[in-house]
Amino acid sequence: MSTGERPDRATAEPEAFPAAFDRIEAALDAGETDLGRLGFWRLLATVKADRALSAHWAEQAGRIDRKAFEASVRIRVPVWFGNAVLLGATLLGVVAIVFALRTQDETVAGLALVFAALDWSAAPHSLAHWLVGRMTGIGFTCYFLRPMPPFPGVKIDYRSYLLASPEGRAWMHASGAIASKLGPLVALAFWPASVAPAWAAWFIVGYELFIIGTDVFISTRRSDWKRVRRELRVARQQASAR
């Protein structure tokens, strides 16, 4: 997904768009894959501010984004396969909760609740992106491994991303972060009905505070919440242009 979308004078004029897109795509075909260095995201920041321009350039922008991604990321699996794996992982959390409620071993019950909390913090993240994205008209091309959590990532189809409303894009970005925060709380809700000791509940509470902290101090600068703010800003730009 794009970052750093601030227009410069070289890409701000509409008549420069065809030449700029063609230049970037030609550089990609020649082996350059750093879209930031090529000025692609600055160009897109200008395009996204206008709904008509977004629709007009969606096809070529999507093609450029996909070429750069596929040239850089080798390990990819189909969306259906990634969804199946993550759904299976989510169901493991359900199994852990059932086990925690049925066992009379306090330690085992505590470990099962902790497992469910960690599992539901990670597994539903990309599933939520996919589900809300599909509801708002955004398509996805594949799942892939990335060097930082949450693992794995789901790759958007940038053509459909540009055609979707900025509000829809914002909800898509927010959905994964929200799902990751709700998961541990759902697991914690089962603690009173189990024989799990207090340390299990306190561990989940501490973990929940930790991941909220990562959202506040990291995600707002580098990840989902940064993109939410960006797309809401685009929505305001489009509204003022009308």
pLDDT band at 221 (very low <50, low <70, confident <90, very high): confident
Last residue of a domain, one of 72, 99, 120: 72
| Inter-CA distances, 130 with 127, 133, 147, 217, 231, Å | 5, 5, 20, 25, 17
Residues 38 and 105 in one domain: no
**What is the predicted pLDDT for the residue at 119?**
97
Q: What is the mean pLDDT of residues 46-75?
A: 94
Q: State the DSSP code for 7.
A: -
State whether 150 and 54 are in the same domain: no
Q: Which amino acid type is present at position 172?
A: M
Q: 118 and 171, same structural domain? A: yes
pLDDT given for residue 150 in this prediction = 54
- On the 0-12 / 13-18 / 19+ scale of CB atoms within 10 A, 186 is middle
Q: Are residues 65 and 109 in the same domain?
A: no
Q: Are residues 32 and 152 in the same domain?
A: no
Note whether 14 and 120 are same-domain residues: no
User: Across the beta sheet with 153-156, what order do the strands follow?
Assistant: 76-77, 140-144, 153-156
Instruction: Decide if pLDDT at 6 tops 90.
Output: no
Q: What is the pLDDT of residue 145?
A: 85
How far the first Cα of the chain sits from its last, in Å, is 26
Residue 173 carries which DSSP code? Answer: H
123 and 186 part of one domain: yes
Nearest 5 degrees, angle CA 232-CA 155-CA 72?
115
* Cα 74 to Cα 68: distance, rounded to the nearest angstrom: 11
39, burial (CB in 10 Å: exposed 0-12, middle 13-18, buried 19+): middle
* Ordered alpha helix ranges (H), 17-157: 17-29, 35-38, 40-48, 51-72, 79-102, 106-122, 124-135
Q: What is residue 190's predicted lDDT score, i.e. its pLDDT?
A: 98
Among 42, 72, 102, identify where a domain stops.
Answer: 72
Give pLDDT tens digits for 92-145. Answer: 999 999 999 999 999 999 999 999 999 999 999 999 999 999 999 999 999 998
Q: Which residues pair with 143 in a beta bridge?
A: 77, 154
Which residue range(s) make up the domain with 166? 75-241
> Are residues 178 and 225 both part of a single domain?
yes
Q: Which two tokens stand for residue 131?
A: 């589900």
Q: What percent of the chain shows pLDDT beyond 70?
A: 92
Furthest C-alpha separation in the chain? 71
Q: Do 235 and 193 share a domain, yes or no?
A: yes
Contact 234, 48 (CB under 8 A): yes
pLDDT on residue 222: 84
pLDDT of 8 higher than 60: no
Same domain, 115 and 42: no
Shared domain check, 199 and 79: yes
- If one counts the domains in the chain, the total is 2
Q: Which of 35, 51, 72 is the last residue of a domain?
A: 72
